[in-house]
């Protein structure tokens, strides 16, 4: 299901900002060639709906193809806007030279406001995103009144040329209607005994316990026919490739102009992995009992289905089969947040997630609100930070530490690095980071009067500066005047953080790698990225995009990179949310998987990419409400055949494909 929107590629429908545009054709379809200047902060185009607005309320996203016609990678920011001026946050993409990138911009579905109360605990419900919910992946626009599509480069340092074509509204919506959801006798319960949506059919849906048993037999036969790539050694390294020094542990090394991992036997290794390998699918049930036809203990639908499917000693059987599945599917790495006991069977190389009760920079929040974990940046100037991290790492002795099958450790995840300066300014006097900031500025300026003159502030004393909890409004004179000092402090914060993390890992597991903190957005966190490159063995990023061939580290940095998370999802298999990156259906999902991994293989810096996650989230939401169709298997432990086929295809060919890239 798609609606052609190529009409917006007419020169009459384009507004240009420091850019030249020309209407053309591409493969017989309308196209727009854009050549940017370099004077404006944002150089690009706005594609307007020729009739004033589009009613796209029947669609999940707008897709368009963007081809980079320049001789170096470009970074493009994109968004859509509705008639009220609302738009989601910018969607940022990096496009390699000559690459055609499939941009997908989320626009819906949007559910009525009443569903937030009637169907709580679900990021997306059978009618869509609850209106007004907002959030990092919410479309936040009215799909019934889309007026424009925006594409631009931010402060380009040279002229770039790109081509836009194939603009469409796409994506199947879930299809429930408001009257049906409001009808309690007909709609409730809407989740069956297996954890599936009751009111829809789809290929592969489980209808009975006999279906579970039949699927087990079918997959046993499938795994027997596909035991795994023939050119892998026991670790999943390239047995038929070059023989390098065998150190007995994983390491990173540049070979033939590309970064690689090297496995314990000295073979080139590219980490094709899966996160959260274990039993997923738990969902809160208290206060939502009417949602469910039957409620398993603890809301564990996936667990209940595995008991039926695998029988006695189901957990041991599940763990053994997980290793067989991964190798059969062409995956050679167990990624973040996976079952530790499954990892320690030592059948598949694995990574370990290090999380710990950490002191954080409080900002303007009350201390009680922050709690022992908090949401924000750790405060490495607090002595408890290092103590807590070291205690957590000590727990890996006799387990992953010194284990040849352990690639290494991720510490933390998607920290808001850009927040450090403002959060420190807004923290109370007892915050160690705040005290460090005041100490640094006192050493630099000597008197508060000199600081005030430099920053255009009016602190009465150093003590008043320490006690103040006011930050600087973005763009204000104080924000501009203090920026060099605050960036310098941010670097000191990052250096202390990464230094402590590196040492904690080295002291306990010197043979294993420090894999970084899984940055959320490349480029936005450049100071932290540069510091990470000085301390981490591998720098990690979570990249929810369609391609990463054009992924770029900050200029001048040459370090290996691993992608910690990526995925795609659709709404044609009974789930209510498509995850962070939507596709139209399962066939497109399998193609998107192949396209992503192949693009990562083409990037000489990337040494691996890990799919998030092994299993679907519960249809009614995990603890924080996320409920995406993001798994390689569904809630009934049934593999998604299209995605698994894509995983196999790229996994079986990946070593020769990477070696042949020039």
For 588-646, the DSSP string reads: HHHHHHHHHHHHHHHSTTEEEEEES-SBPPPTT--TTS--BS--SB-TTS-B-HHHHHH
Q: Mention every residue, 6+ apart, whose C-beta is less than 8 A from residue 465.
A: 438, 441, 448, 451, 459
Mean pLDDT of the 196-219 span: 97
**Residue 226: φ, ψ to 5°:** -125, 75
Question: Do the beta carbons of residue 275 and residue 612 sit within 8 Å?
Answer: yes
Question: Do the beta carbons of residue 485 and residue 444 sit within 8 Å?
Answer: yes
475 vs 410 pLDDT, higher one = 410
- Pairing mode of beta strands 19-26, 29-36: antiparallel
- Chain-centroid distance, C-alpha 382: 29
Class of residue 614 by CB neighbours under 10 A (exposed 0-12, middle 13-18, buried 19+): buried
CA pair distance 162, 73, nearest whole angstrom = 11
CA pair distance 140, 324, nearest whole angstrom = 42
Residue count of the chain: 662
Q: Which pLDDT belongs to residue 154?
A: 92
Mean pLDDT of the 157-184 span: 93
Q: Which pLDDT belongs to residue 368?
A: 64
Q: What is the pLDDT of residues 49-74, one digit of tens each?
A: 999 999 999 999 999 999 999 999 99
Residue 373 has pLDDT above 50, yes or no: no
Q: What is the pTM of this model?
A: 0.96
CA pair distance 305, 295, nearest whole angstrom = 12
Which residues in the chain are classed under CATH 3.20.20.80?
188-336+518-660
CA pair distance 435, 430, nearest whole angstrom = 7
> In 63-120, where does DSSP find H-type helix?
115-118
Q: Which pLDDT belongs to residue 132?
A: 56
Q: Mention every residue, 6+ apart, whose C-beta is less than 8 A from residue 344.
A: 399, 400, 403
CB atoms within 10 A of CB 491: 15
Class of residue 63 by CB neighbours under 10 A (exposed 0-12, middle 13-18, buried 19+): buried
CA pair distance 410, 509, nearest whole angstrom = 13
Q: Mention every residue, 6+ apart, whose C-beta is less than 8 A from residue 481.
A: 454, 455, 456
Q: What is the pLDDT of residues 234-250, one digit of tens each?
A: 999 999 999 999 999 99
Superfamily name with CATH number, domain 188-336+518-660: Glycosidases (3.20.20.80)
140 vs 656 pLDDT, higher one = 656
Q: Which pLDDT belongs to residue 508?
A: 98
Q: Which pLDDT belongs to residue 661?
A: 77
- Chain-centroid distance, C-alpha 63: 20
CB atoms within 10 A of CB 556: 7
CA pair distance 146, 169, nearest whole angstrom = 11
| Alpha-carbon dihedral 340, 563, 235, 536, rounded to 10 degrees | -80
> How far does the chain reach from its first CA to its final CA, in angstroms?
38
Which residues in the chain are classed under CATH 2.60.120.430?
2-174
Q: Which pLDDT belongs to residue 133?
A: 55
CA pair distance 624, 627, nearest whole angstrom = 9
pLDDT band of residue 319 (cuts 50, 70, 90) is very high
370 vs 415 pLDDT, higher one = 415
Q: What is the pLDDT of residues 520-537, one digit of tens each?
A: 876 668 999 999 999 999
CA pair distance 493, 420, nearest whole angstrom = 8
pLDDT band of residue 86 (cuts 50, 70, 90) is confident
Mean pLDDT of the 513-520 span: 96
Residue 206 has pLDDT above 70, yes or no: yes
**Rg of the Cα trace of the chain?**
26
CA pair distance 537, 552, nearest whole angstrom = 18
Question: Do the beta carbons of residue 55 and residue 145 sit within 8 Å?
Answer: yes
Q: Which pLDDT belongs to residue 118?
A: 95
Helices (H), strands (E): how many in the chain?
A: 17, 24
Beta strands in 278-405 (DSSP E): 333-334, 350-354
- Chain-centroid distance, C-alpha 84: 29
| CA pseudo-torsion sign 519, 520, 522, 524 | negative
Q: Mention every residue, 6+ apart, whose C-beta is less than 8 A from residue 2.
A: 168, 169, 170, 584
pLDDT band of residue 662 (cuts 50, 70, 90) is low
Residue 93 has pLDDT above 70, yes or no: yes
Question: Do the beta carbons of residue 619 and residue 196 sit within 8 Å?
Answer: yes
Greatest alpha-carbon span in the chain = 79
Question: Do the beta carbons of residue 531 and residue 494 sit within 8 Å?
Answer: yes
Residue for token digits 């409620």? 295
Q: What is the pLDDT of residues 274-316, one digit of tens each?
A: 999 999 989 999 999 999 999 999 999 999 999 999 999 999 9
Mean pLDDT of the 425-435 span: 97
**Candidates 2.70.70.10, 2.60.120.430, 3.30.300.350, 3.30.2020.30; CATH matching 2-174:** 2.60.120.430
Q: Which pLDDT belongs to residue 522?
A: 60
Residue 517 has pLDDT above 90, yes or no: yes
CA pair distance 632, 626, nearest whole angstrom = 16
467 vs 116 pLDDT, higher one = 467
Question: Do the beta carbons of residue 99 and residue 547 sit within 8 Å?
Answer: yes
CA pair distance 440, 648, nearest whole angstrom = 54
CA pair distance 432, 429, nearest whole angstrom = 8
- Chain-centroid distance, C-alpha 620: 21
| Alpha-carbon dihedral 602, 348, 630, 529, rounded to 10 degrees | -50
Q: Which pLDDT belongs to residue 371?
A: 57
Residue 135 has pLDDT above 70, yes or no: no
CB atoms within 10 A of CB 257: 8
Q: Residue 144, SS3?
A: helix
Mean pLDDT of the 533-562 span: 95
Question: Do the beta carbons of residue 11 and residue 21 sit within 8 Å?
Answer: yes
Q: Mention every residue, 6+ apart, whose C-beta is less than 8 A from residue 452.
A: 458, 459
């Amino acid at each position: 299901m798609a609606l052609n929107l190529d009409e917006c590629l007419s020169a009459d429908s384009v507004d240009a900002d420091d850019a030249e545009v020309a209407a053309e054709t591409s493969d017989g379809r309308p196209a727009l060639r854009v050549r940017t200047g370099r004077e404006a902060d944002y150089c690009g185009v706005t594609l307007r709906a020729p009739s004033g607005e589009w009613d796209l309320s029947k669609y999940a996203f707008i897709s368009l193809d963007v081809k980079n016609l320049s001789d170096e990678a470009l970074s493009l920011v994109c968004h859509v806007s509705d008639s009220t001026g609302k738009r989601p946050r910018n969607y940022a993409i990096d496009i390699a030279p000559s690459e055609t990138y499939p941009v997908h911009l989320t626009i819906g579905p949007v559910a009525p406001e009443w569903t937030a109360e009637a169907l709580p605990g679900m990021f997306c419900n059978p009618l869509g995103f609850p209106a007004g919910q907002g959030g990092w992946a919410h479309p936040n626009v009215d799909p019934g009144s889309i007026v424009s599509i925006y594409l631009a480069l931010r402060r380009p340092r040279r002229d770039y040329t790109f081509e836009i074509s194939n603009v469409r509204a796409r994506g199947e919506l879930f299809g429930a209607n408001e009257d049906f959801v409001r009808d309690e006798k007909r709609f409730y319960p809407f989740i069956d005994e297996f954890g599936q949506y009751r009111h829809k059919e789809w290929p592969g849906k489980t209808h009975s316990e006999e279906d579970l048993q039949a699927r087990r037999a079918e997959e046993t036969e499938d795994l027997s026919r596909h035991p795994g790539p023939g050119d892998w050694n026991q670790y999943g390294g390239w047995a038929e490739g070059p023989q390098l020094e065998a150190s007995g542990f994983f390491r990173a090394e540049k070979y033939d102009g590309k970064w690689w991992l090297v496995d314990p036997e000295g073979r080139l290794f590219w980490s094709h992995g899966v996160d959260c390998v274990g039993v997923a699918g738990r969902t809160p049930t208290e206060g939502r009992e009417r949602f469910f036809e039957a409620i398993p203990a603890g809301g564990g639908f996936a667990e209940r289905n595995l008991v039926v499917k695998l029988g006695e000693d189901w957990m041991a059987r599940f763990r053994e089969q997980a290793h067989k599945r991964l190798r059969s599917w062409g995956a050679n790495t167990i990624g973040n947040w996976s079952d530790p006991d499954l990892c320690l069977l030592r059948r598949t190389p694995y990574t370990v997630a290090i999380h710990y009760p950490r002191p954080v920079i409080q900002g303007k929040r009350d201390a009680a609100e922050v709690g022992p974990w908090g949401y924000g940046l750790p405060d490495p100037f607090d002595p408890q930070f290092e103590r807590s991290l070291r205690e957590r790492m000590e727990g890996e002795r006799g387990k992953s530490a010194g284990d040849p099958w352990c690639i290494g450790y991720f510490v933390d995840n998607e920290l808001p690095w850009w927040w450090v300066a403002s959060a420190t300014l807004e923290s109370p006097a007892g915050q160690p980071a705040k005290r460090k900031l005041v100490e640094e500025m006192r050493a630099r300026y000597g008197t508060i009067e000199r600081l005030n003159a430099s920053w255009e502030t009016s602190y009465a004393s150093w003590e008043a500066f320490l006690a103040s909890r006011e930050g600087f409004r973005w763009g204000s004179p104080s924000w501009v005047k203090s920026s060099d000092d605050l960036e310098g402090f941010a670097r000191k914060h990052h250096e202390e953080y990464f230094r402590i993390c590196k040492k904690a890992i080295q002291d306990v597991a010197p043979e294993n790698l420090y894999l970084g903190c899984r940055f959320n957005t490349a480029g936005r966190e450049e100071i932290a990225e540069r510091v990470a490159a000085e301390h981490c063995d591998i720098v990690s990023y979570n990249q929810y995009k369609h391609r990463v061939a054009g992924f770029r580290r900050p200029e001048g940095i040459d370090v290996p990179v691993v992608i910690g998370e990526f995925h795609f999802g659709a709404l044609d298999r009974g789930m209510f949310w498509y995850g962070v990156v939507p596709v139209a259906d399962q066939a497109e999902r399998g193609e998107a998987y192949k396209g992503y991994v192949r693009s990562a293989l083409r990037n000489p810096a990337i040494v691996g990419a890990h799919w998030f996650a092994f299993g679907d989230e519960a249809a009614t939401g995990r603890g924080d409400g996320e409920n995406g169709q993001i798994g390689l298997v569904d809630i009934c432990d049934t593999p998604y055949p299209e995605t698994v086929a894509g995983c196999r295809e790229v996994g079986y060919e990946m070593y020769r494909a990477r070696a042949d890239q020039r």
